[in-house]
Amino acid sequence: NMAAAAYALTASYDSAVSSWLAGEVTSPPETHTIAFQVERPLKYGCNPHQLPAALCSVGGGKMPFSVVAGIPGYINLLDA
Protein backbone atom coordinates (compact mmCIF):
# COMPACT_ATOMS: atom_id res chain seq x y z
CA ASN A 1 0.00 0.00 0.00
CA MET A 2 2.81 2.41 0.81
CA ALA A 3 4.49 1.80 -2.56
CA ALA A 4 1.23 2.47 -4.41
CA ALA A 5 0.66 5.68 -2.42
CA ALA A 6 4.23 6.85 -3.07
CA TYR A 7 3.95 6.11 -6.79
CA ALA A 8 0.61 7.97 -7.03
CA LEU A 9 2.06 10.99 -5.23
CA THR A 10 5.10 11.02 -7.52
CA ALA A 11 2.91 10.73 -10.62
CA SER A 12 0.74 13.63 -9.43
CA TYR A 13 3.84 15.76 -8.84
CA ASP A 14 5.26 14.85 -12.27
CA SER A 15 1.95 15.82 -13.89
CA ALA A 16 1.95 19.21 -12.14
CA VAL A 17 5.54 19.93 -13.18
CA SER A 18 4.84 18.84 -16.76
CA SER A 19 1.76 21.09 -16.97
CA TRP A 20 3.72 24.07 -15.63
CA LEU A 21 6.62 23.51 -18.02
CA ALA A 22 4.23 23.20 -20.97
CA GLY A 23 3.00 26.71 -20.23
CA GLU A 24 6.55 28.10 -20.18
CA VAL A 25 7.66 27.02 -23.68
CA THR A 26 6.68 28.21 -27.14
CA SER A 27 5.76 24.76 -28.48
CA PRO A 28 4.21 22.58 -25.76
CA PRO A 29 4.60 18.80 -25.90
CA GLU A 30 2.02 16.71 -27.73
CA THR A 31 1.39 14.49 -24.70
CA HIS A 32 -0.44 15.82 -21.65
CA THR A 33 -1.10 14.11 -18.33
CA ILE A 34 -3.87 14.87 -15.87
CA ALA A 35 -3.91 13.93 -12.18
CA PHE A 36 -7.32 13.22 -10.65
CA GLN A 37 -8.15 13.43 -6.96
CA VAL A 38 -10.73 11.04 -5.50
CA GLU A 39 -13.44 13.22 -3.98
CA ARG A 40 -15.97 10.58 -2.94
CA PRO A 41 -15.89 6.79 -3.07
CA LEU A 42 -18.93 5.01 -4.47
CA LYS A 43 -20.59 1.88 -3.05
CA TYR A 44 -20.15 -0.10 -6.25
CA GLY A 45 -19.95 0.26 -10.02
CA CYS A 46 -22.88 -0.11 -12.38
CA ASN A 47 -23.75 -3.47 -10.74
CA PRO A 48 -23.26 -4.54 -7.11
CA HIS A 49 -20.82 -7.31 -8.10
CA GLN A 50 -18.40 -4.78 -9.66
CA LEU A 51 -15.47 -3.20 -7.88
CA PRO A 52 -16.13 0.19 -6.24
CA ALA A 53 -15.67 3.27 -8.34
CA ALA A 54 -15.03 6.83 -7.24
CA LEU A 55 -15.92 10.37 -8.21
CA CYS A 56 -12.82 12.26 -9.17
CA SER A 57 -12.01 15.90 -9.79
CA VAL A 58 -9.17 17.55 -11.65
CA GLY A 59 -7.00 19.60 -9.35
CA GLY A 60 -9.34 19.40 -6.36
CA GLY A 61 -12.26 21.18 -8.02
CA LYS A 62 -15.61 21.30 -6.21
CA MET A 63 -18.25 18.75 -7.15
CA PRO A 64 -21.48 20.23 -8.61
CA PHE A 65 -23.63 18.46 -6.00
CA SER A 66 -23.58 17.32 -2.39
CA VAL A 67 -24.51 13.97 -0.87
CA VAL A 68 -27.07 14.37 1.90
CA ALA A 69 -26.75 10.93 3.50
CA GLY A 70 -25.02 7.61 2.92
CA ILE A 71 -22.62 6.50 0.21
CA PRO A 72 -24.03 6.77 -3.31
CA GLY A 73 -23.63 4.14 -6.00
CA TYR A 74 -23.09 4.67 -9.71
CA ILE A 75 -26.82 4.30 -10.46
CA ASN A 76 -27.62 6.96 -7.85
CA LEU A 77 -25.50 9.41 -9.81
CA LEU A 78 -27.25 8.54 -13.06
CA ASP A 79 -30.61 9.12 -11.37
CA ALA A 80 -29.58 12.50 -9.93
How confident is the model over 54-69, as pLDDT tens digits?
777 776 667 777 778 8
Q: Regarding beta strands 36-41 and 54-58, do their DSSP bridges make them parallel or antiparallel, or are they unpaired?
A: antiparallel
pLDDT at 75 over 70: yes
Q: What is the mean pLDDT of residues 22-46?
A: 80
Report the share of the chain in percent with pLDDT over 90: 8
Q: Could you give the angle at the alpha carbon of 7 between the alpha carbons of 3 and 16, nearest 5°?
A: 160
> Which pLDDT score is estimated for 3?
94
Which DSSP state fits 5? H
> Which pLDDT score is estimated for 7?
92
Residues in CB range of 46: below 8 A, 6 or more apart: 74, 75
Q: How confident is the model at residue 6 (pLDDT cuts 50, 70, 90)?
A: very high
